[in-house]
Amino acid sequence: MKDDRRSETIRYVTGALVSGVLTLLAFWVVMGPDLARPVRLWVLAGLGLAQIVVQLRCFLHIGWHSRREDLQLILFSLVLLGLMIGGTIWIMGSLAVRMH
């Protein structure tokens, strides 16, 4: 029981630190080095994905042996994220092409 609590605490602290670092990295990518625009965007997207993974792992306790309900939840989230992100890129891309 005590070990459980200890490993839980370690997990939450690690999660908080890693997600904090990832957030700061995102700011650094934009404000710091002299990178090409597409490189910056891809790095930002990568950092965003890493953030999702860290939060799922450390805060929501999702692992390879999670329950079926968790899998359903993740798959449904992926569907909605796909709709929202895909739709946004499509809409804003169409607007950008027609406005310039």
Partner 1 sequence: MTDPIFGRLDGSVTPFDDLFRNPSVNEAVASGAALAVILGVVAVVWMLTRHRLWAPLWRDWLTSADHKKIGIMYCVLAGVMLVRGVLEGVVMRTHQVTALDGGMLSADHFAQLFSTHGTIMIFFVATPLITGLINFAVPLQIGARDMAFPVLNQVSLGLTAAGAGLVMVSLVVGQFGTGGWTMYPPYTGATFSPGPGVDYWLWAIGISGIGSTLSGLNFAVTIYKMRCPGMTWLRMPMFTWTALCTAIMMVYAFPPLTVATAMLALDRYLDFHFFTNDLGGNMMHYANVFWMFGHPEVYIVVLPAYGVFSEISATFAAKRLYGYNSLVIATMAIAVISFCVWLHHFFTMGQGAPVNAAFGIATMIIAVPTGVKVYDWLATLYEGRIRMSVPIIYLAGFFILFVFGGLTGVILANPTIDYQVHNSQFLVAHFHNVLIRGTLFGIFAGIHYWFPKAFGFRLDETLARRAAWLWFAGFCLAFLPLYWLGLMGMPRRSASYDNPAFEPAMWLAFAGGLLVLAALATTVWTFVASIRNRAALACPVGDPWDGRTLEWSVPCPAPAFNFFATPSVRALDPLTIEKAEGTPYEEADGYEDIEMPRNTALGMILAVATGVMGFALVWWVWWLAALALVAVIGAVIARAFVEDTHQRIPADELRQAHLAFLRRVRQTRAVDRDDETGPANKGLARPEVPA
The residue (of 21 and 89) whose beta carbon lies closer to partner 1 is: 89
Residues 68 to 87 in contact with partner 1, rule: CB under 8 A: 69, 76-77, 79-80, 83-84, 87
Q: Cα dist. 57→76, 81, 93 in Å?
A: 17, 18, 33
Nearer to partner 1, 9 or 94 (CB): 94
Alpha-carbon dihedral sign for residues 55, 81, 50, 45:
negative
Among residues 49 and 85, whose Cβ is nearest to partner 1? 85
Q: Give the position of tokens 């804003």.
A: 92
2 residue type, one letter:
K
Residues forming contacts to partner 1 in the complex (CB under 8 A) are 69, 76-77, 79-80, 83-84, 87-88, 90-92, 94-95, 97-99
